[in-house]
């Protein structure tokens, strides 16, 4: 057998073993819906009934803040909403996969607080699909950071899990520790918009080893939820000060603009 033929044979054996392994796991642990637990055809997804509980954000939406609009008439020539015309966010563009309603809320809170890290796979895929226009071959994905004390308590940063999945699908590099929180900020759920901005001011910096890497890059900033934009603003300012060419925001879900508090109000925490 030639070396080329042997290589093809070994590759076929590896592929067969891979799929056999997945088949065995599926027999022992059938894929199930991330929300209700009913058996599904594919692991890491939701059933058709639960998918109907989710509200994907589709056109028309504001390209600046990512918020859905009732009509194209609410957008200007640049496709900005009236709110962004009056008070433009510091970032360039924003996209969200879902509206933060009951279905998205359950997926995100499970990921964030119930150790359901597998939810990052489903959410990350939907984020990548929603935000494909944000990615360029030379861009860099960076997640919103959590403070080290909260990281020790939670054991992982849910934004970093989403960032890894998004970067993998986009085929671009991810720097999960590119940003750092210099202090433990208060929980923001009861704060007004102004109080959130004041609390987050100067709380986030670019880590020194990554300053040169970020300089001149188009950065996609990843988080789970976009609420008032205070955290995303602090992160964007830090990235721009480090020399980033542009910053876009990509999140799993966006809270409706009329809401002043997060819909995970019983937990009283946002990042």
Span 200-256, pLDDT tens digits: 667 899 999 999 999 999 999 999 999 989 899 999 999 999 999 999 999 999 998
Q: Residue ranges per domain, the chain?
A: 51-254
Going by C-alpha positions, the residue among 101, 156, 116 that lies closest to residue 32 is 116
User: What pTM, to 2 d.p., does this model score?
Assistant: 0.80
The per-residue pLDDT for 260 is 42
Q: Return the ∠ at Cα 47 (arms to 220 and 115), rounded to 5°.
A: 55
For tokens 């020539």, the residue is 77
- Residues 99/263, Cβ–Cβ less than 8 Å: no
Do β-strands 246-254 and 218-226 pair in parallel, antiparallel, or remain unpaired?
A: parallel
**Could you list the pLDDT tens digit for every one of the 271 residues in the chain?**
554 455 455 545 454 444 444 444 455 456 788 888 788 766 667 888 888 889 999 999 999 999 999 999 999 999 999 999 999 999 999 999 999 999 999 999 999 998 999 999 999 999 999 999 999 999 999 999 998 888 888 889 999 999 999 999 999 999 999 999 887 655 545 555 565 556 666 789 999 999 999 999 999 999 999 998 989 999 999 999 999 999 999 999 999 875 443 334 333 344 4
Phi and psi of 93, rounded to 5°? -140, 160
Can you state the angle between helices 119-130 and 102-113, rounded to 10 degrees? 130
The per-residue pLDDT for 195 is 59
Q: Which string of b and e fits 104-116 if b means at least 16 CB within 10 Å?
A: bbbbbbbbbeeeb
CA dist., res. 76 & res. 87, Å (int): 14
Which residues does 58 contact at the CB level (< 8 Å), separation at least 6?
Answer: 68
Q: Which CATH number fits domain 51-254: 3.40.50.2020, 1.10.510.10, 3.30.70.920, 3.40.50.300?
A: 3.40.50.2020
CA dist., res. 201 & res. 102, Å (int): 30
The per-residue pLDDT for 250 is 98
The per-residue pLDDT for 16 is 47
Going by C-alpha positions, the residue among 100, 68, 62 that lies closest to residue 84 is 62
Going by C-alpha positions, the residue among 183, 197, 196 that lies closest to residue 261 is 196
CA dist 147 → 10, 40, 133, 156 (Å)? 46, 36, 30, 11
């Amino acid at each position: 057998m030639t070396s080329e033929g042997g290589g093809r044979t070994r590759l076929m054996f590896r592929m067969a073993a891979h799929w056999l392994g997945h088949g065995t796991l599926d027999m022992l642990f059938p894929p199930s819906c991330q929300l209700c637990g009913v058996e599904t055809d594919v692991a890491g997804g939701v059933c058709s009934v639960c998918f109907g509980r989710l509200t994907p954000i589709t056109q028309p939406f504001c390209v600046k803040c990512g918020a859905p609009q009732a009509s194209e008439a609410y957008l200007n020539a640049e496709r900005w909403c009236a709110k962004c015309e009056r008070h433009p966010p510091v970032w360039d563009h924003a996209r969200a996969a879902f509206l933060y309603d009951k279905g998205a809320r359950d997926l995100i809170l499970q990921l964030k607080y119930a150790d359901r890290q597998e939810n990052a796979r489903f959410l990350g895929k939907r984020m990548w699909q929603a935000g494909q226009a944000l990615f360029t071959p030379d861009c860099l994905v960076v997640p919103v950071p959590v403070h080290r004390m909260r990281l020790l308590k939670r054991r992982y940063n849910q934004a970093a899990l989403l960032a890894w999945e998004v970067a993998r699908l986009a085929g671009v590099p991810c720097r999960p520790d590119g940003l750092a929180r210099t202090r433990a900020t208060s929980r923001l759920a009861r704060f007004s918009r102004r109080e959130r901005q004041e609390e987050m001011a100067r709380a986030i910096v670019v880590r020194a080893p990554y300053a040169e890497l970020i300089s001149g890059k188009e950065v996609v900033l990843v988080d789970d939820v976009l609420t008032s934009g205070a955290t995303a603003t602090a992160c964007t300012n830090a990235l721009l000060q480090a020399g980033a060419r542009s910053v876009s925001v990509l999140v799993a879900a966006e809270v409706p603009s009329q809401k002043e508090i997060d819909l995970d109000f019983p937990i009283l925490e946002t990042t």
